Amino acid sequence: MSMYTIITAFLMFVNALAILNEERFLKPYGWGFQEMSGGRVASLKGQIIGLLHAVQYLRVPLIVMNVITIFGKLLFG
């Protein structure tokens, strides 16, 4: 297992988090951004909700990292 494999696995995990739609998947299960109100930000659930929303803002850098990874895989096998 190389460092490239670990980075690719992490990138795929972040991609999976980035495509979650709040309206369709997160709100019905109580994982929406409104759940963070009331001082529950320090809990584990609040921290995971914060991570999900942070990933939503990182979509453009994520696209760039995906393109770099694809070209690297094409060029170096």
**Per-residue pLDDT reduced to its tens digit, 15-50:** 998 888 777 877 787 777 776 666 666 778 888 888
56: pLDDT strictly greater than 80: yes
Asked if the model's pLDDT at residue 71 lies above 90, the reply is yes
pTM for the model stands at 0.75
Mean of pLDDT values over 7-13: 92
Question: How many other CB atoms are found less than 10 A from the CB of residue 48?
Answer: 12
Amino acid identity, residue 53? Answer: H
For the chain, which residues make up each domain, given as ranges?
Answer: 3-76
Rounded Cα–Cα distance for residues 53 and 15 (Å): 13
∠ CA 36-41-42, rounded to 5°: 155
* Tokens representing residue 77 in the block: 């096998």
Specify whether the CB–CB gap between 27 and 59 falls below 8 A. no
pLDDT confidence band for 75 (50 / 70 / 90): very high
